[in-house]
Structure 1
Amino acid sequence: MSKDYGVYIHIPFCKQKCFYCDFPSFAGREKYINEYLHSLRREMELGAERFGIHGKLMPHTVYIGGGTPSHLNFSQMEMLFEGIHANMQAYGAAEFTMEVNPCTIDEEKLHLMKDNGVNRISIGVQSFDDGCLKCIGRVHTGDMALEKVKLAQSSGFQNISIDLMYGLPGQTLDTLKMSLDKAVELGVQHVSIYGLQLEEGTVLAKQQEMKRLELPDDEAVEEMYDYLVDFLPTKGFNRYEISNYAQEEYHSRHNTLYWQDIPYLGFGSGAHSYWQGNRYENPVDIGEYIKAIADGKFLNIMEEFVSEKAHMEEFCFLGLRMTKGIDKKKFRQTFDKDIHEIFGGAIDKMVARELLAESGSAIFLTPLGMKYGNVVFGEFILE
């Protein structure tokens, strides 16, 4: 079986739900953790059979996300890794990432992760400014984030990514500059940086509805964006995707699979899979997920066939997220059509507006297009 696929494993537990987060994650559900880990192991056991893979799973990349995987205690984390290694060759993965938060990671857990094949960690910092952190419901401080990044480095991790955000309540260009400076000074290999989005049902969205949220104005947010896209490349962090910057050879191989239309298997509550033209989605509710596995209803979890139209649209949306853009040859190989036959009008229109550019091999966002990506993506929706 080809190793050209990724595996995502979802850990939905958090110490506290962040005020901006609409991911399938929950605080205060610790009583479910052990039972959840047993269900997760059972799902992984069934995974090979379900997707027609003989023998152990042999993914190119493995990514443990959440939620907060590092919220598991040491013995629970051991249980997680035992389930993984029983069902897949994770040690052989080109990249094995685990997400951690500064307030739930320690030296003992870091060594356990490293001993179990994790070779890349993603640390949810968001900001090194304590005021910003408090406003978005993070339970760590800037100093704690600095300390834990250094601890990960001293524990032997040589591929460390940190998450940052801009456009946060109370954030200024100066506080963003401070966070970026600290990231560079720490010597991490990868920075993911996202603009704040107010998602329905989150604490911040409710605060805005009640007119109790003070956000930077659009001009200030644009200034932050312009600064970071200019600053990071000068420090050796090259932009390879709209929100991701990496030193040479340290781009996220797992996330790149998603953007390059490569299959992936997802395990855990709320996890998604994309396999042989079908999409699968597990129940988001932890109790419902555990019950589905226990009742043997695993194979009946939601399945959706991806139409050619939807596949073409997504191929373009995801390809355009990457700075190298849509591979025209791969589009033709995938759909047996020239991309201009399907999207020629949209391409010409966006090129005229200087939001897209084209080379012999690719169609890609210009710097201006990166800034206004949603405008471009909207043109690639087929009627």
Structure 2
Amino acid sequence: MPEAAYFHIPFCVNICHYCDFNKVFLKGQPVNEYLTYMEKEMINTVRQTPYSRIKTIFVGGGTPTALDYEQFEMFLKMVNRHFSSDKLDEFTVEANPEQTDRKKLEIMKAFGVNRLSIGVQAFQEQLLKELGRTHVKKDVIRTVLEAKAVGIENISLDIMFGLPHQTVDMLKETLEIAFSLNVPHFSAYSLQLEKKTVFYNRAVKGDLLLPEQEEEAQMYEVLMEQMEKHGYIQYEISNFARPGYESKHNLQYWDNNEYYGIGAGAHSYVNGKRVANAGPLKKYMSLIDETGFPYVHSETLAPSAKMEEELFMGLRKMDGVSDTRFKQRYGKSMYDVFGPQIEQLLAKGWLKKSGDRVSLTKDGTFLGNEVFQEFIGVV
């Protein structure tokens, strides 16, 4: 039974050059109508699969803070109506600094939001322009200060590395400014070239100057060293937190737990099924009219697929995968299923054992995708 819910707001004032998430330009879109259909999906979803307790909520996009005040309040009221919980541990909203002012932060606070995830990426204006971002450093600083002023102290900043024209020194400068803001959490991702993005098209044309692989690896090394130096624990390949401030919602994914997904392009994992919603707004809304649900794909996971996901999702966490938990879920040891693969990765020095757990070594964190691949198609 799901204890987490994700809500997707697909509207953006501008489109970033690296983003392949489901999104549309805000201007001219039927925003209010879309929100009404989101509520229909919420009602039908909870009726079909009731929950006993929701622990975490995450609102992503797109750009949730691109909604105007009325729309934002309307949306958060809906979430509270249908996914309310007296014992909600974490309620996160993604925010772009240039579209997040004090009034929106006050609305968030009033409706139970207690965590803010701010898209920063870098603090150099030339890099931000290259990324297609429209904020500047002062917007980030203002947003952090205003969030704290309204009582939202649990703040995460997103940082990117391996960017076009980015150097190790630029990353160090970004981190130095970020640490000065005294927030408890960071997510830090290397640039991935995804199809149908501006960066991908430029790369195909040979018009995208990216750091060499060795330099990108050096950036990741610097990132890990600086995080540790400043008191942030790396608890997942791309995530760092002060103790007690780990993202509870994202841990639901990495722990391979079930979750609701509401909105255009959202994905759910409920009752052993992975379900994908329609991405285009018209299709999303018309499917809800026709069937009550916007599903375009549904797959009931076989036990073998669940076990594979348990390994490659769980190994993203620095504390890895517990064999005791694996046995409780699947009735057999992970060594019975993946013994040769685990032994091979231990021999390579990419995995390590501690008690009943296996986890990535430091070398393994640099080669995560290669490690995870070893568990695909085994069973």
Same fold at TM > 0.5: yes
1:137: Cα distance to partner? 0.5
Regions of 4+ moved over 2 Å: 28-31, 294-297, 299-302
- Secondary structure of 2:291 counterpart: coil
Task: Name which of 306, 313, 316 aligns with 2:308.
Answer: 313
Q: TM-score, normalised by structure 2?
A: 0.97
1:90: Cα distance to partner? 4.7
- Secondary structure of 1:284 counterpart: coil
Aligned-partner Cα distance in 1 for 2:280–2:29: 14
1:143: Cα distance to partner? 2.2
The answer to whether the 8 Å contact 2:312/2:375 transfers is yes
Identity between Structure 1 and Structure 2 (%): 39
* Equivalent residue, structure 2, for 1:219: 214
Aligned-partner Cα distance in 1 for 2:42–2:292: 14
- Secondary structure of 2:30 counterpart: helix
Q: What is the identity, as a one-letter code, of the residue corresponding to 1:25?
A: K
Task: Name which of 105, 117, 138 aligns with 1:143.
Answer: 138
1:262 and 2:250 matched: no
Deviations 1:248-305 (A, max 9, x none): 1000000000111211001001111111211111101111111112233417653210
The answer to whether the 8 Å contact 1:168/1:196 transfers is yes
* Equivalent residue, structure 2, for 1:9: 7
Deviations 1:188-247 (A, max 9, x none): 110000000111111001111112111111121111111111110111110000000000
Task: Name which of 228, 241, 266 aligns with 2:236.
Answer: 241
Assess, with a 3 A threshold, how the Cα gap between structure 1 residues 141 and 299 changes in structure 2: closer, same or farther. closer
- Secondary structure of 2:42 counterpart: helix
Aligned-partner Cα distance in 2 for 1:311–1:257: 15
* Equivalent residue, structure 2, for 1:176: 171
Deviations 1:358-382 (A, max 9, x none): 1222010001101111111111113
* Equivalent residue, structure 1, for 2:224: 229
* Equivalent residue, structure 2, for 1:355: 350
Task: Name which of 318, 323, 335 aligns with 2:318.
Answer: 323
Where does 1:1-40 land on structure 2 (aligned, <5 Å)? Answer: 5-28=3-26, 30-40=28-38
The answer to whether the 8 Å contact 1:62/1:90 transfers is no
Deviations 1:135-154 (A, max 9, x none): 11001112222222222122
1:160 and 2:161 matched: no
Aligned-partner Cα distance in 2 for 1:107–1:253: 25
1:103 and 2:101 matched: no
Aligned-partner Cα distance in 1 for 2:151–2:35: 27
Aligned-partner Cα distance in 1 for 2:242–2:91: 18
Aligned-partner Cα distance in 2 for 1:91–1:289: 31
Assess, with a 3 A threshold, how the Cα gap between structure 1 residues 264 and 121 changes in structure 2: closer, same or farther. same
1:202 and 2:197 matched: yes
Aligned-partner Cα distance in 2 for 1:156–1:191: 19
Aligned-partner Cα distance in 2 for 1:190–1:146: 15
1:122 and 2:117 matched: yes
Assess, with a 3 A threshold, how the Cα gap between structure 1 residues 74 and 199 changes in structure 2: closer, same or farther. same
- Secondary structure of 1:280 counterpart: strand
Q: What is the identity, as a one-letter code, of the residue corresponding to 1:355?
A: W
Q: What is the identity, as a one-letter code, of the residue corresponding to 1:260?
A: D
Aligned-partner Cα distance in 2 for 1:95–1:26: 27
Q: What is the identity, as a one-letter code, of the residue corresponding to 1:109?
A: K
> Bigger shift: 211-220 or 97-106?
211-220
Aligned-partner Cα distance in 1 for 2:311–2:144: 36
Q: Give the gaps of 5 or more residues in structure 1.
A: none
- Secondary structure of 1:295 counterpart: helix
The answer to whether the 8 Å contact 2:93/2:113 transfers is yes
- Secondary structure of 1:177 counterpart: helix
Aligned-partner Cα distance in 1 for 2:173–2:242: 20
* Equivalent residue, structure 2, for 1:339: 334
The answer to whether the 8 Å contact 2:19/2:197 transfers is yes
* Equivalent residue, structure 2, for 1:47: 45
The answer to whether the 8 Å contact 2:284/2:294 transfers is no
Q: What is the identity, as a one-letter code, of the residue corresponding to 1:12?
A: P
1:30: Cα distance to partner? 4.3
- Secondary structure of 1:245 counterpart: strand
The answer to whether the 8 Å contact 1:326/1:363 transfers is yes
* Equivalent residue, structure 1, for 2:289: 294
Q: What is the identity, as a one-letter code, of the residue corresponding to 2:197?
A: T
Aligned-partner Cα distance in 1 for 2:39–2:113: 18
Q: How many matched pairs?
A: 378
The answer to whether the 8 Å contact 2:158/2:188 transfers is yes
> Bigger shift: 292-301 or 309-318?
292-301
- Secondary structure of 1:363 counterpart: strand
Task: Name which of 363, 368, 372 aligns with 2:367.
Answer: 372
Task: Name which of 70, 76, 79 aligns with 2:71.
Answer: 76
The answer to whether the 8 Å contact 1:100/1:123 transfers is yes
Q: What is the identity, as a one-letter code, of the residue corresponding to 1:289?
A: Y
Task: Name which of 298, 305, 327 aligns with 1:303.
Answer: 298
